[in-house]
Structure 1
């Protein structure tokens, strides 16, 4: 298995990645496939071709990276765990010190029991790989597709560095990932609900 830049893929391989993306995420969480390439797409290749991908964005002026999408096409074979190790090893080798991402909140009102189970499984998957669910509440960053699901914030350290203050983490993600400054009402609501101010 290897993790390669999507730019190195053939048209056929890129089509396989597109199918993985479209199968992994509901329509309301998707942006047009070609729009993903504003960020860096790393694709897991195995003996059968593309097996998954991670879409990442380095957070400017920090050594942190934000994980936008993470999906595998063949489940139950350890593919997701193997890709995670390759991804975190690669980012650490590049000098990145923290991987940050958000996940859908299984406690959001009105979710079907299937979605609740899916959201919980996703959190457990990340926790098994070392991800930490951060104690952040009312975390509602704007999404590229206009959809505003209730989210939770997770991270994992990639290097031995001092633990950042949770407020700094929240404000950095809002600003560097979503373009929302710290004095915005959305950020203040999150900080207040999380007892960070």
Structure 2
């Protein structure tokens, strides 16, 4: 018999549940990709609860002046139970109900030079996971936003439409992510490089 899983706002968590979310976070991301846990709460955190407590979380930030939302972190604490897929369906349904029309996120590029075979496999698996749930790999190249930790892995950009709206021009999407997620204006060399590399 399956128990219901519910997606709740982080503000409603008990101290114990919050500690469990922290453990999921620290386990899911290598130290160099982590920011201090308490710093995550500048954004909106949605936590999946099951009968054992927190099973995963998504950290999202609405991109100002748009109806798009950026997914900063997506982490599942219990694997192999369909938890990741369940949380994704709950998350996208919640955002759509809030009037958001598109979810955008970045993923590590499995083709980055010098990666170990294990990391290549892990990055590929992550992309396939998102694609299975309706995510799309965008034809964006040379995408190197400044990372919170100063480390700049080679990244790819993905999105998932949440509502029936016309496809935005890819250039607009790239410039919006750089500006509204990373604070980098369109005239910045990093943005120019991405647009050039992506033939936009």
What is aligned with 1:22?
26
Q: How many residues align?
A: 196
1:144 shift after superposition: 1.0
Q: CA RMSD in A?
A: 0.4
Residues 1:44 and 2:48 aligned together: yes
What is aligned with 1:185?
189
Q: Deviations over 1:19-70 (max 9, x none)?
A: 0000000011100100100101000001111000000000000000000000
1:75 shift after superposition: 0.3
What is aligned with 2:126?
122
Residues 1:79 and 2:83 aligned together: yes
How far apart in 1 are the matches of 2:120 and 2:39?
28
How far apart in 1 are the matches of 2:167 and 2:135?
14
What is aligned with 1:31?
35
How far apart in 2 are the matches of 1:150 and 1:28?
14
What is aligned with 1:145?
149
Point out 4+ residue stretches in structure 1 off by more than 6 angstroms: none
1:126 shift after superposition: 0.2
Of 128, 131, 136, the residue aligned with 2:135 is 131
The secondary structure found in structure 2 opposite 1:169 is helix
The secondary structure found in structure 2 opposite 1:13 is helix
TM (norm. structure 1) is: 0.99
The secondary structure found in structure 2 opposite 1:126 is helix
Q: Deviations over 1:88-114 (max 9, x none)?
A: 000000000000000000011111111
The secondary structure found in structure 1 opposite 2:111 is coil
The secondary structure found in structure 2 opposite 1:146 is coil
Of 167, 170, 181, the residue aligned with 1:166 is 170
Unmatched tracts of structure 2, length 5 or more: none
What is aligned with 2:103?
99
The secondary structure found in structure 1 opposite 2:24 is helix
Q: Deviations over 1:120-146 (max 9, x none)?
A: 000000000000000000000001111
